[in-house]
Each structure stands twice: as C-alpha cells, then as structure tokens.
Amino acid sequence: MAEAGVEFGEGLAPNYELRIEGLTLSVGVTQFIERVEYESADGLVDMMKVSVMNPDFHMSEMKLFLPGNEMALWLGYGPDLSFVGRAEIVKVRKTFPPSGMPGLGVTGYTKDHRMAERRPDPGADATEKSKKKAVWNGFAVDEVVVAIAASYLFRTDVDEAPELDGNFYQPHEMSDFDFVVGLSNLVGYFFWVDADEDGKWWLHFKSPGKVGPSVQEKTYTFKYNSGDETTLTTFAPEMLLKDSFTKVVAVLTLPSGEVIKKEFVESKESEWATKPKTESELAEDILGTAASIKLFLDDFSITIPATDGIRDEVTLEWWVDTWIKRHRQEFMTGKGLTVGLESLRARQSHRIQNLDKVTDGSWFFSRVRHIMDSEGGYDCDFDARKEIL
C-alpha cells in the first residue's frame, strides 16, 4: 500500500500541461490561465473547467477555446506529468467583473455528454401515444451496450453481463446515457466514458470485481494531522443511517443460480436478545446453501459471506438485524481534500488514517476533482463512502 505523501512531488512545484486539439499551449497563453479543474464522478459525465483571464479580449479573439474543440490535461510536479483526462468544449462564457480583468469560463465534458442529448426518434407526426421507442429484441445487456457505443464510435471495454429474461425498451423521452445507466443498475455494473492519452474514446461497462484493475494501480493511505506526512487536509464524514428503523433488502444467490429476495425493517433493540430457535420452513435448508448474502440499505450495497446456521427466514432476519446494529456507525459518506495526486480517480478505493476508530479504514471514492490553481497550488477534493467490509 502506497503512502500518498511519498508520491506527491517530493518538494517539486505543481505543474500542468493543457493541450487543445493536440497543440500544447504556449507560455503566452498559459500565463493567463488562472485555474484548471478535472472532475470524475461515478454515474455522471466527467467535466473539465478552465478559467482564463481575457485582457483586451485577446484570449477570446485567438479562438482556441471554441465549442467542439478537445482539451487534454496532464498534471504533476516539476517535469513529471501524468495524463489526467480529456474533454470536449461545450460552453464558453465571457465574464465582466465589477473590478479586475474580464475573463473566460470554459467548460468541457467527456463525450458521453452526447449520449445525454440523444433520444430515440419519436417518428414523424407522432402523437403522445404513438411515439416510438427503441426496442432491443433478443439482445443480451452487454450486446445492447456495445451497439450503443458503436453509434458514437466509442471503443469498448465491456464485460459479459448476467443473462436477463425479456426484451429491453428505451422510451422516446429517455436519453442513451440514462438508458445505459439503467442497464448498469439492472445488473450492478459500473458505466463510464473516458479517453486515453492518444485521444481514443472508450465506453466502459464493468462488473464490480473487474472495475478496480481498470481504474486503479495503487491503494493510497491519506493521513490527517500527521505533521510533514499529512496528506488529508480536511475530511467531513456523516452517518447515513439516521432513522431509528432501517429498511433492508437481503438477496441470496444460490449455487443453482436461483435468487431469494427478502425485505426487512430493522427491529427494536429488545426483540432479538438471542438467536431464535425455529424449524426450517424451506425444503432442504435452502438458505444454508447460499455462498453470500447481499444487503441493500439506502445508497449502500454490501456483499457478505454466508454464515453457517442460517437455515430459515426468521434466522436470516435475526442475522441481518443484529449485523446492522453492530455496524450502524460505519455507514458513512464523507467529503474531503487531499494533496494533489495525478492518479486519483472516481471508482477507486483508498485508506483514510488518523481520524478515529470508526472513521479510519477503506473508502470508495465516488467523485474526485483535480484543482490546479495559479495561486493555491494543486489539490484534490472528493466524495467518498465507507467500505464496510
């Protein structure tokens, strides 16, 4: 496991390189750039923002920052820079503050923003009832995703998805982006679009077990209040399970492929003093054959190895209820700020240290924003959720 502080510059000054349409910007341009941001977020289109001073309207007249142009960003320390991301310029906004210099606010998105804008053609002269919808008959989930990616000329990194019965329908008001997000939620996969250093655009549709190697080479430990070794500047965790009684969905997958789904509401503390003793109401103790139990609580889903002795629904409810009570404090989300680290991305897991016993541990980073500021240096702010197991 890597220490973040060892890799964030070793005394070298933060540095960046911004290219537009493959051309490296000259010092005559970069001297007017005040701030560059790149944000990746699970479930959302990635975004890049550039804030530019515009003296005498010189920068806007250069026509570098035009909608449709691609920006590519490298970040790092000294001469050692790493590719962070690429975006297509969508919006350019001129600013005229009450004091100070006029500016440009440039916003770009990864090319899945085009997927958010396209919907099935409703058909000519269609009424509300007769508007067309996209119908995918006889396609597997991953085949649908590959076909949609091809329509945008994306290369694909798509895992084979579980087989589902039935056809898939995309209503005329649903964008391609929302449709693929819906498919990813249906099978529990991750979906995102990004570009590589060579400018090739990729659509990723990955199973949870394979997403890590796609986005993460190292696991870092971010330390709070550790003197010269401090790499976590601020962190604000928040407990999620605030209600007295939490609704839980338990899903058990059996070796045969059969899925058993049970819903519970967390009980009062006194109802489960000891493990209940009941006779199994299910043939062949079917619950006891499950390899794992997956729990869904609010925004969390946790897969837990099955425990011996769960042989009926009452015992399952007892086990789920007592497990939640033991781990209630660990269901947390948080926002934080770290030192700038070029390889930090959404959908990665890293450790946080030196806070307290409950908060310390592994966290899944759901959003990461790289911030390079001409005055404030290089930082990353992030959203994360605690990994229970």
Would you say residue 371 has pLDDT above 70? yes
Q: Is the pLDDT of residue 271 over 50?
A: no
AA letter at 374: S
Of the listed ranges 45-54, 153-162, 187-196, 307-316, the least confidently predicted one is 307-316
HEC states along the chain? CEEHHHHCCCCCCEEEEEEECCEECCHHHHCCEEEEEEEEECCCCCEEEEEEECHHHHHHHCCCCCCCCEEEEEEEECCEEEEEEEEEEEEEEEECCCCCCCEEEEEEECHHHCCCCCCCCCCCCCCCCCCCCEEECCCCHHHHHHHHHHHCCCEEEECCCCCCCCCEEECCCCCHHHHHHHHHHHHCCEEEEEECCCCCEEEEEECHHHHHHHHCCCCEEEEECCHHHCCEEEEEEEECCCCCCCEEEEEEECCCCCEEEEEEECCCHHHHCCCCCCCCCCHHHHHHHCCEEEEEECCEEEEEECCCCCCCHHHHHHHHHHHHHHHHHHCEEEEEEEECCCCCCCCEEEEEECCCCCCCEEEEEEEEEEEEECCCEEEEEEEEEECCC
Would you place residue 282 in the very low, low, confident or very high pLDDT band (cuts 50, 70, 90)? very low
Q: What is the pLDDT of residue 358?
A: 85
Examine residue 238 and state whether it is found in any structural domain, yes or no. no
Exposure class string for 217-245: b at 16+ Cβ within 10 A, else e: eeebbbbbeeeeebbbeebebeebbeeee
Quick: pLDDT tens for 179-236: 999 999 888 899 999 999 999 999 999 998 888 888 998 999 999 998 888 899 999 9
| Average pLDDT for 331-350 | 93
Of residues 77, 80, 79, 82, the one with CA closest to residue 12:
77
* Phi, psi angle pair for 327, to nearest 5°: -110, 10
99 located within any domain: no
For 115-129, 134-148, 279-293, which range has the lowest pLDDT when averaged over its residues? 279-293
Evaluate if residue 248 carries a pLDDT over 90: no
287 has pLDDT over 60: no
Report yes or no on 258 lying in a domain. yes
Give the pair of three-digit tokens for residue 214.
């796609």
Find, among 217, 251, 246, 241, the residue nearest to 330 by Cα: 241
- Give the pLDDT mean for 69-83: 95
pLDDT tier at 290 (50, 70, 90 boundaries)?
low
Query: 11 versus 184: which is more confidently predicted?
Result: 184
Residue 309 lies in a domain: yes
Are 36 and 49 within 8 A, CB to CB? yes
Assigned domain for 315 exists: yes
The answer on pLDDT for 265 being more than 60 is yes
Handedness of CA 335, 340, 341, 346 (dihedral sign): positive
In a domain, residue 286? The reply is: yes
Residue 299 lies in domain: 247-330
- For the residues 318-327, what does the mean pLDDT come to? 72
Q: Is a pLDDT exceeding 70 seen at residue 270?
A: no
Tokens encoding 69: 């142009």
Entry pTM: 0.80
In a domain, residue 306? The reply is: yes
Q: What's the total number of domains in the chain?
A: 1
Q: What is the pLDDT of residue 68?
A: 96
Confidence at 286, pLDDT banded by 50, 70, 90: very low
Q: What pLDDT shows up at residue 261? A: 73
Average pLDDT over residues 275-298: 51
Q: What spatial distance separates the first Cα and last Cα of the chain, rounded to whole Å?
A: 17
Rounded distance between C-alpha atoms, residue 68 and residue 202, angstroms: 18
Tell me: pLDDT of 138 over 60: yes
Bridge-based pairing state of the strands 332-339 and 14-20: unpaired
Check pLDDT > 50 for residue 388.
Answer: yes
Res 104 pLDDT > 70: yes
Residue 24, pLDDT score? 93
352 assigned to some structural domain: no
pLDDT band per the 50, 70, 90 thresholds, residue 34: very high
| pLDDT of 258 above 80 | no
Of 199, 172, 170, nearest in space to 69 by CA: 199
Q: Give the mean pLDDT of 238-262.
A: 66
Of 20-29, 130-139, 280-289, 351-360, the poorest mean pLDDT is in 280-289
pLDDT of residue 31: 92
Confidence of residue 274 (pLDDT cuts 50, 70, 90): very low
| Mean pLDDT (the chain, rounded) | 83
Nearest Cα to 171, choosing from 204, 203, 139, 128?
128
